[in-house]
Amino acid sequence: MTSSSAESGAAGERVSTSSACPPSEQMPAAPPARPRTVVVVWLRDLMISLGISAFIIIFLYQPVKVEGTSMMPLLEDQERIFVNKFVYRLEPIERGDIVVFRYPYDPSKSYIKRVIAMAGDHIRIDSGQVYVNNDALIETYVPAEYVDRRSYPDTIVPEGDYFVLGDHRSMSDDSRRFGPVNQSFIYGKAVFGYWPMEKVGRVK
């Protein structure tokens, strides 16, 4: 009888241990998060975000500010755009692309123009009308008020070079003056405008 009562008591103790134990014997509650831990986590997330941003800016996209009016009306002075610096590792430069390149006479400066002709093309301009391989270009991106009447002699674009022009022909310093641009000077393609807000969208 004594043995039976003891077993019953022991069983009761096992069942009630988690709920009826004196406060001094209960498991301690988890300590609150320390401010230092929160700061460490915040700094870690910040460094990861900065690292990703740096990778995108250095290797993929670069924000640039347009200075000047040579690409109006497509791009205005002080407009902000993103330049894709990786795209030409995956695909070739094509006619009509808006490219950013180092200015041949001063590589510390960057210019932005439209590709009009590529290596092997015959390019000439007669009183403002552009011809590529004897075909007159229909340039809807050049408004009538931006056309000029300058001419350029028939030229074959050398291997690895591109003939570039600004859309604002009467205000553009381009291949009509400094000649075709070598591909080694071209480092990106204008792809997206992000400021001002009314100009947000794809550059084309």
Q: How deeply is 132 buried, as exposed, middle or buried, from its count of CB atoms within 10 A (0-12, 13-18, 19+)?
A: middle
CB 176 within 8 A of CB 165: yes
The active-site residue out of 85, 113, 175, 189 is 113
Q: What is the C-alpha separation between 38 and 35, in angstroms, rounded?
A: 5
Kindly report the CA angle at 173 between 107 and 181, in degrees rounded to 5? 50
* HSE-CB for 202 with a 13 A CA cutoff: 2
The active-site residue out of 70, 85, 172, 175 is 70
- Which SS3 state, helix, strand or coil, does residue 66 take? coil
Q: Any idea what DSSP says for residue 79?
A: -
Q: Any idea what DSSP says for residue 82?
A: E
Q: Which of 125, 111, 75, 117 is nearest to 93 (CA)?
A: 117
184 is known as an active-site residue: no
What one-character-per-residue DSSP string does 127-185 give? TTEEEETTEEP--TTS-GGG-----EEEEEPPTTEEEEE-SSGGG--SHHHH-PEEGGG
24 is known as an active-site residue: no
> What amino acid positions are annotated as catalytic residues?
70, 113
